[in-house]
Structure 1
Amino acid sequence: MGKRIDGQAVHAFIVLAASSLLLCGCTAFLRPQEKRAEAQLVPAVGSQTRGLVTFIERSDGVQVTYNLSGLPPDSDHALQVHERGDCNSVDGSSAGAVFAPAAERLKMGARVEGDLGNIHADSNGVATGFIVAPDVSLDGIRSVLQRAVVVHRDASDPYAWPQHGAGAPLACGVIRQ
């Protein structure tokens, strides 16, 4: 003779199974969402430089991934975030100064937060890679959102005082989510 299954046991099993499935599906929504932004860089007047710069917030800072082309072969260039998200002027002045939310705390030789570092173009004029920027974020006072990211003609000198640009802009893009 077969065993008889109690209706309450079946109901309890169905409720438990459905609850488990719902909870498993909800964990994807409960995980922290990755903070991400990007800037599509377009050439400045007289330049062929263009590409994409992606910003992803990590626990150790913002990972800045770049994929650029049209740079002079075998050359070094400053990659900087500027105060204003405006790439309309020919000389790059509409982007403002290099982003420095802690400027009042700077001492001679300190690096400005928006000076992300120098990048290198290969023999084909292509620069790809990433930089971790520990002093910026994608929200709050150190946020780079709605600011301009600029690739400059020259490499930057992080120890120069006062802080200055690194030559004319080759490409510029506004950082957006």
Structure 2
Amino acid sequence: MRHRFDGRAFRALIATAACSVALSGCGLIFQNHEKRADAMLQPTPGNATRGTVTMIERADGVQVSYSFTDMPPNSDHALTVHERSDCIAVNEQDTSPVFALPSERRKPSSRLEGELGNIHADPTGAATGFIVATDVSLDGVRSVISRAIMLHREAMDPYALAPHNVGPALACGVIRR
């Protein structure tokens, strides 16, 4: 018995296979790709503090997860993002300004976008946790990519009306994708 080749059935089979392959690729295209950035903070001259910061953009803001070691025990420190990616400056006067949009910088006594918050070192000098930063992003005009992130000697006073004096940086790194 001889089988007859049906071209229409073969074309339908090929079309079905092609659609299946194309649609399986759609899962990769339409997956939720999270925006993520990381920074390795190294000690500034005369300090031992070091750590890592991971930033993941979420619906409610950027989740800034941190882990630091070799901090002064039982102390509070400000975590800030600065305009430029300069980690060479050794004191507060030499560092670039805290990151802020020009419109926010003109407002007196306003909190700047780059002022992420304060963190607390435990009795061993370590700090691990996260902050949700609602005023920054990982792309667009509020992007912190390629900017310096610094852990400062002092904590920010959330009630201060003047610019915050948080002292020199203990550690600094550059935020990278």
Q: Structure 2 length as normaliser, TM-score?
A: 0.86
How do 1:26-45 and structure 2 match up within 5 A? Answer: 26-45=26-45
Structure 1 residue identity aligned to 2:20:
S
Mapped pair 1:103 → 2:105: yes
1:94-149 deviation per Cα after TM superposition (whole angstroms, max 9, x unaligned): 43122121222x353x3221110111111221111111101011222211112111
Name stretches of at least 5 consecutive residues in structure 1 with no aligned partner: none
CA distance in 1, matches of 2:13, 2:95: 62
Residues 85, 95 of structure 1: 8 Å contact kept: no
| Equivalent residue number for residue 57 of structure 1 | 57
> Structure 1 residues 44 and 129 mapped into 2: Cα distance closer, same or farther (>3 Å)?
same
Deviation at 1:39, TM superposition (A): 1.2
User: Larger deviation: 128-137 or 5-14?
Assistant: 5-14
More divergent stretch after superposition (8-17 vs 116-125)? 8-17
Equivalence for 2:48: 48
Do the aligned residues in 1 keep the contact of 2:117 with 2:156 (CA within 8 Å)?
A: yes
State the alpha-carbon separation in 2 of the partners of residues 167 and 26 from structure 1.
50
Percent same amino acid among aligned pairs?
56
Deviation digits for residues 6-25 of structure 1 (CA, Å, limit 9, x no counterpart): 66345424431442233112
The answer as to whether partners of 2:81 and 2:98 remain within 8 angstroms in 1 is yes
Residue 171 of structure 1 corresponds to 171
* Distance in 1 (alpha carbons) for counterparts of 2:174 and 2:61: 20
Instruction: Please say if residues 84 and 94 of structure 1, whose CA atoms lie closer than 8 Å, have aligned partners that are also in contact.
Output: no
Q: TM-score, normalised by structure 1?
A: 0.86
- Structure 2 counterparts to residues 1-177 of structure 1, below 5 A: 8-9=8-9, 11-101=11-101, 102-104=104-106, 106-108=107-109, 110-177=110-177
Distance 1:45 1:54 in 2: 23
